[in-house]
């Protein structure tokens, strides 16, 4: 007998502000359960996660008025979980098959959206996502056993990865601890700090035609090296739309800002998140 699909059960505080609706589970790779109706989105995750939805709520508030992001409807907790409700933005995520019909246009839009984000004054941004912090978080995730070593990208850890950093190749089957040691040893000497999205993959940018409707899943937003975004965006485009779109993205963003060694480094760092 098949199990019934999970249903969204809202705490009282959110029931008061969200109308009755048919909710669809559209959970992706963020680690949270995501539900959407025609007008709203609700994210649900266990309390105590390293990346909390309360923090994401704070970052959405900061971004509002600076860039297009979902409007916050409410935040609540119960004994086990936390909930973040937002208005649903128009548009399709960039990895949607219909959006991928226009791969080069999407690459262009993504590059321009990131340039706009990266132009925000870092003196106004209160959120730290520096490499020192990311490596501490990576260490904590490794020690807590939160890294899925079976999900490591063999290509990223091999030919594209450490060979570009002059440290030889990481091999398939190496542990998260070994990957972390490589990252600490090969840490770039400098950081080109900007306000970053932190998880600049195609699913987190919504488009309608030639317009970026908004940025979502901003829990990792903060001041970091621009390659935190460039690396994940380039990889996401390569996987979903092909190498031509990925190279076009870097062309439009500006090759003068791109360090190929840092692209490889930050792609490998993401394997621990």
- This prediction has a pTM of 0.91
Span 163-214, pLDDT tens digits: 544 444 555 567 899 999 999 999 999 999 999 999 999 999 999 999 999 9
Higher pLDDT, 2 or 7: 7
Catalytic residue chosen out of the listed positions 29, 78, 98, 199: 199
210, 116 contact by CB (below 8 A): no
The CATH number of the structural domain formed by 12-87 is 3.30.200.20
Token digits for 240? 């979903």
204 is in an annotated binding site: yes
Spatial distance between the Cα atoms of 59 and 237, rounded to a whole number of angstroms: 25
- Torsion sign (Cα): 217, 220, 221, 227: negative
pLDDT at residue 157, rounded to an integer: 58
Proportion of the chain above pLDDT 70, given as a percent: 90
Q: Does domain 92-272 have CATH number 3.40.50.2300?
A: no
Q: What is the pLDDT of residues 250-259, one digit of tens each?
A: 999 999 999 9
Quick one: pLDDT band at residue 249, thresholds 50, 70, 90? Answer: very high
Q: How far apart are CA 241 and CA 237, in angstroms?
A: 5
59: which 2 tokens?
């970052």
Catalytic, 108? Answer no
Say whether 14 sits in a helix, a strand or coil. helix
Q: Where are the domains of the chain?
A: 12-87, 92-272
Q: Answer yes or no: is 217 a known binding residue.
A: yes
User: Which tops the pLDDT comparison, 16 or 157?
Assistant: 16
| pLDDT tens, residue by residue, 230-242 | 999 999 999 999 9
Cβ contact 159:146 at 8 Å: no
Q: Are 191 and 131 in contact (CB under 8 A)?
A: yes
């Amino acid at each position: 007998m098949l199990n019934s699909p999970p249903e969204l059960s809202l705490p009282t505080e959110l029931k008061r502000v969200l109308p009755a609706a048919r909710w669809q589970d559209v959970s992706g790779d963020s680690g949270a359960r995501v539900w959407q109706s025609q007008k709203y989105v609700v994210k649900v995750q266990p309390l105590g996660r390293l990346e909390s939805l309360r923090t994401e709520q704070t970052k959405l508030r900061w971004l509002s008025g600076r860039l297009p992001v979902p409007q916050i409807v409410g935040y609540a907790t119960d004994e086990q979980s936390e909930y973040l409700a937002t208005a649903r933005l128009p548009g399709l995520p960039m990895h949607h098959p219909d959006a991928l019909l226009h791969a080069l246009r999407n690459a262009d839009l993504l590059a321009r959206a990131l340039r706009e984000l990266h132009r925000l004054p870092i003196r106004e941004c209160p959120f730290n996502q520096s490499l020192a912090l990311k490596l501490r978080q990576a260490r904590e995730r490794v020690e807590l056993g939160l890294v899925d070593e079976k999900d490591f990208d063999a290509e990223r850890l091999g030919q594209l990865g450490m060979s570009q950093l002059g440290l030889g190749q990481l091999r398939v089957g190496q542990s998260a601890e070994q990957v972390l040691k490589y990252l600490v040893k090969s840490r770039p000497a400098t950081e080109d700090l900007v306000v970053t999205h932190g998880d600049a993959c195609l699913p987190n940018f919504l488009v309608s035609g030639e317009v970026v409707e908004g940025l979502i899943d901003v829990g990792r937003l903060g001041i970091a090296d621009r390659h935190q975004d460039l690396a994940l965006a380039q990889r996401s485009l390569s996987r979903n739309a092909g190498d031509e779109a990925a190279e076009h993205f870097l062309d439009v963003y500006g090759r003068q800002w791109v360090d190929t060694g840092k692209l490889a480094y930050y792609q490998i760092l993401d394997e621990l998140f």
